[in-house]
Amino acid sequence: MKKLYTKSILALILIFSFSCEDINKDINANPNDILISDVEDKLFLTGSQLANIQLNLGHLNRISGMYSGQLIGFSSLYSNIYGYNLSTVEANGSWNALYVGVLTNMRNLQENSSSSQLVGIAQIIEGHAFGTAASLWGGIPYSEAGNPEIEDPVFDGQVSVYNAAISKLDQGIQTLSAASTGGLSQDIIYGGDKSKWIAAAYTLKARFSLHKKDYAAAVSAANNGISSASGDMTYNPPASQSSGDVNLFATILNGSRAGDLGNSSGGSESYLLQLLSNSYSINRNHSKTDETARYGYYKINSSSGAANTGVIAETEPQNMVTYFENELILAEAKGRSGGVSSGLPHLNNVRLWLNSGGSLNDNHITDSYNYASFDAADFNSGGIENTDGIDPKSAFLREVIEERYVSGFGMHMPFNDARRLRASDSAISVPFILVLGPGAPYPERMPYSYNELNSNSNAPAEDPGIFTKTQVNQ
């Protein structure tokens, strides 16, 4: 791994090719061409943000969507991956985005920049990226990663990485709280707005605490998290197709993968679409809920990215950290400790947002939808959200998790929830359809990078496989 840290410091600043997502392409460029000291420190920021976007929204995101019943791989590479035939090669790009694009550049800012604004943002991006990485892979190099004196960093346990990521987020919150800030054009997420960065950091702390099943810590953090949709962290594609800067799903379908990936084709529809359509018995529609508009918004035309008008339209923003996630964390975590009455206001806040068209764009806002507020009685036995007569708290939590499943499209959220809940809370987990039938195991993690397995003496002798449970999901 040492080579990744000492070569091509600026590799990710200028590289953002999602069509093939090979950020290894220029990794062996001559390190003497440009020195760190030659580059204005804020120029490191944009490249790292793009690398973090790739980690959160790129290739592995599409895989997690397939492994949580949201997407279908119809042909070629994605057909193989959909059938759980996932090579370690598929993780190389995301692994390098993490260690070269994020860690190298963000550590450089933290260690060398005189701007507390840049340092604080760098700390939050690092925490975000490594918390995400821990969720995807389990144990990964972190405590020794980024040290040019250590060629083969050890693999830290998943919980240790989560805790370190949360600590890094805390550092970012503290740094930015004391920082003098102004506009920052190199910040393509929030433009240097420190209040938005701080709120997003708290929501990320809540997310990673939820992953660890530390629900009290999740509430504590989410109480300070994103408080309105105006504070959402999103990737907003500038829609220049010539440079590939469109919605990342659209980018894939505009290239060689047209027809390979989607959620509906030839009468087959993903579990996500089945939840939203009256054509299926499992649908979510009733007197207080009409999902017609969201069905149209989430339905993907796999023929090309340009053919889409909804969630993967070329100009459609992609969610990374959001208000609705923060409210649903509060709904679940408070509901677990205090029951329906404690969590219900937060679920209804999400439904109020949905009823304002918050999950839709202009192409689908005129379609039919309704998200009336729930009453506690709706979750009692025989209520509209408890027709099978389970206990009210479980019925409430089931609805919260189901809403996380739908609204969390493209955020790794459904994949993370499925792994978190299937062993300890199967009654409230979303029972999406297994690709290979009821006897098949569920995927539990992403494979390690082939490059890392073959270059780091501290890496496992071979990848544990995608069906091996991670530390927090035993």
Is position 51 within any domain? yes
The 3-class secondary structure across the chain, one letter per residue, is CHHHHHCCCCHHHHCCCCCCCCCCCCCCCCCCCCCHHHCCCCHHHHHHHHHHHHHHHCHHHHHHHHCCCCCEECCHHHHHHHCCCCCHHHHHHHHHHHHHHHHHHHHHHHHHCCCHHHHHHHHHHHHHHHHHHHHHHCCEECCCCCCCCCCCCCEECHHHHHHHHHHHHHHHHHHHHCCCCCCCCCCCCCCCCHHHHHHHHHHHHHHHHHHCCCHHHHHHHHCCCCCCHHHCEEECCCCEHHHCECCHHHHHHHCCCCCCEECEECCEECHHHHHHCCCCCCCCCECCEECHHHHHHHCCCCCCHHHCCCCCCCCCCEEEECHHHHHHHHHHHHHHHHCHHHHHHHHHHHHHHHHCCCCCCCCCCCCCCEECCCCHHHHCCCCCCCCCCCCHHHHHHHHHHHHHHHHCCCCCHHHHHHHHHCCCCCCCCCCCCCCCCCCCCCCCCCCCCHHHHHHCCCCCCCCCCCCCCCHHHC
Inter-axis angle of helices 158-177 and 116-137, nearest 10: 160
Q: Residue 19: what pLDDT?
A: 39
Q: Residue 21: what pLDDT?
A: 45
**What tokens appear for 75 in the block?**
């042909």
**What tokens appear for 221 in the block?**
């953090």
Is position 184 within any domain? yes
Number of domains into which the chain is organized: 1
Tell me the whole-structure pTM to 2 decimals.
0.92
Q: Residue 358: what pLDDT?
A: 95
Q: Residue 70: what pLDDT?
A: 97
Is position 114 within any domain? yes
Q: Are 249 and 305 in contact (CB under 8 A)?
A: yes
Is position 227 within any domain? yes
Euclidean distance between the first and final Cα of the chain, in Å? 29
CATH code (residue 80): 1.25.40.390
Inter-axis angle of helices 194-211 and 413-421, nearest 10: 30
Is position 158 within any domain? yes
Q: Residue 43: what pLDDT?
A: 86
Is position 338 within any domain? no
- Domain that includes residue 463, residue range: 1-236+441-474
Rounded-to-integer distance, Cα 184 and Cα 189, Å = 10
Q: Residue 136: what pLDDT?
A: 98
- CA distances to 42, 59, 94, 152, 154 from 458, rounded to whole Å, are 34, 26, 20, 6, 5
Which residues make Cβ contacts (< 8 Å) with residue 312, sequence separation at least 6? 247, 249, 250, 253, 300, 305
**φ, ψ of residue 156 in degrees (nearest 5):** -85, 155
Q: Residue 245: what pLDDT?
A: 82
Which residues of the chain are under the pLDDT cut of 50? 2-27, 29, 31-38
**What tokens appear for 33 in the block?**
């061409």
- CA dihedral for 413, 208, 162, 46, sign (positive or negative): positive
Is position 5 within any domain? yes
- Closest to 36 in 3D by CA, of 2, 13, 64, 55: 13
Q: Are 290 and 364 in contact (CB under 8 A)?
A: no
Is position 129 within any domain? yes
Half-sphere exposure of 52 (CA within 13 A, CB side): 32
Which residues make Cβ contacts (< 8 Å) with residue 368, sequence separation at least 6? 290, 292, 293
Q: Residue 34: what pLDDT?
A: 42
